[in-house]
Amino acid sequence: MAQHQDDPEDRTAPSTPKVRAGNLLIAGTALTEATFRRTVIYVIEHNASGSFGVVLNRISDTAVGAMLPHWAPLSASPGALYVGGPVHRNSALCLGVARQGASVDGIKGVRRLAGRVVLVDLDTDPQTLAPHIEGVRIFAGYAGWSAGQLDGELNNDDWMVVSAHPRDILAPAGTDMWASVLRRQPLPMALLATHPIEIERN
């Protein structure tokens, strides 16, 4: 029978890091599978039913203007669709960053996730959001986990859980986000930013 974590004989048992909307999942150095190697995932939802989020550092060759032209003016540079993950690549999710001091509470089609980061319904009129939103990033597909699956991967050290900054959502193309997010963490995690894994081009 498995011992509970608080049993006196099992005080060294590993614990699963707490995950919530607004966290980043940073791919562990041993995670070499091509889809998720050196990825940074923004967690949109995590509950007993499962988890999902979007990969922030996989840019596509498709311009937002080619697929969703009315969203192009609000899309952060370089104005491209990003590959949010392997699930439902034919659907799109949109994250936005509210302007400093702007209130998005009560705006139809906008759901606050954490801090200034919001989930935006793409059926919303972008012109009504422009005064309130600094910029958006649109993702084709998402990364998803069934109930308990992400906890298992966390226990396997596949992912590191850290806090997100609003600027992570709209980071410029060409940024090595995996390394930059790690560098701002406390030691010893920050040292992983220099891990000698081939850097993929965005």
Over the stretch 87-137, which tens digit does the pLDDT of each residue have? 998 899 999 999 998 888 888 899 999 999 999 999 999 999 999 999 999
The pTM assigned to this predicted structure is: 0.86
Rounded CA separation 81/62 (Å)? 6
Number of domains observed in the structure of the chain:
1
Rounded CA separation 24/97 (Å)? 15
- What's the pLDDT score for residue 14? 45
Domain presence at residue 49? yes
Name the strand (E) or helix (H) holding 178: helix 177-183
Asked whether the predicted pLDDT for residue 196 surpasses 50, the reply is yes
- CATH code: domain of residue 39: 3.40.1740.10
C-alpha distances (whole Å) from 118 to each of 69, 90, 98, 137, 181 are 21, 21, 7, 11, 20
Domain presence at residue 164? yes
Domain presence at residue 199? no
Domain presence at residue 79? yes
Domain presence at residue 148? yes
Domain presence at residue 140? yes
Domain span at residue 48 reads: 8-194
- What's the pLDDT score for residue 198? 54
